[in-house]
Amino acid sequence: MPNKNIVYIGIGSNQGDKLTNIKKAITSIEKLDSTNVGVCSSIYLTKPYGYLDQDDFLNMVIKISTEKDLALLHRELNKIEDKIGRNKTIKWGPRQIDLDILFFNDIIYTDDQITVPHKGIIKRDFVMVPLIEIDSNLIHPALNLKIADICNNVSQKQIISKFKFNYKSDLVS
C-alpha cells in the first residue's frame, strides 16, 4: 500500500470572484486521485504582501493526505491554477488563484521548481495563523520550531479579518 503524505497547502486569490476561485481549487484538489482534503482553516481577508498596489486577498490553508509524491503534486497544483485562470505577471502580483505547498511531511527539499518548506512561511501571518488554526503543534522541519512560536515574531501583519469556512458544506459542486 502506498504511503499517505501529509501536505499543507496555502491558497490565495485576489482577482475575480475570490471565494469561488478558492472553492474551485479545493474541489479540484479533492478530485485528485489518491488525495483527500482533511482540514481547512478559516478564510482570511488580507492586505497584499510584497507588491502592494493590488486588491486585498482571501487566504487560507488546507491539510491534505495524498499518495502523490512532491513533484507530481506540484505539477497537479499548477494544472489546477492554470484551469482556474492563474496568469503569472509580476512577483507577488495579482492572481485568480495561488496554490503553494507549504509543508510536505517533514521533507526539506529545493530545486528550480519548488522549495519545501515554502521559504516565505515565516514572514507571512496570513500563512502562519491558518497553519496554527489547523495544527497548533506543527513543527517547521528546517527550523525545528513550532509554528505557533515562530508566529509570535512575524513583524508584518497582513490579516484584516477572518471568517469560518466549512469545506464540506461550503464548496461548489
Tens-place pLDDT, residues 35-75: 999 999 999 999 887 766 788 999 999 999 999 999 999 99
Whether the per-residue pLDDT at 116 is higher than 60: the answer is: yes
Give me the numbers of helices (H) and strands (E) for the chain, helices first please.
5, 10
| pLDDT tens column, 1-10 | 467 999 999 9
**In terms of CATH, what superfamily is 5-161?**
7,8-Dihydro-6-hydroxymethylpterin-pyrophosphokinase HPPK (3.30.70.560)
- Pairing mode of beta strands 145-146, 159-163: unpaired
Whether the per-residue pLDDT at 19 is higher than 50: the answer is: yes
Q: Which residues contact 72 (CB under 8 A, 6 or more apart)?
A: none
Strand runs labelled E in 14-164: 35-40, 43-46, 57-66, 98-104, 109-110, 115-116, 139-140, 145-146, 159-163
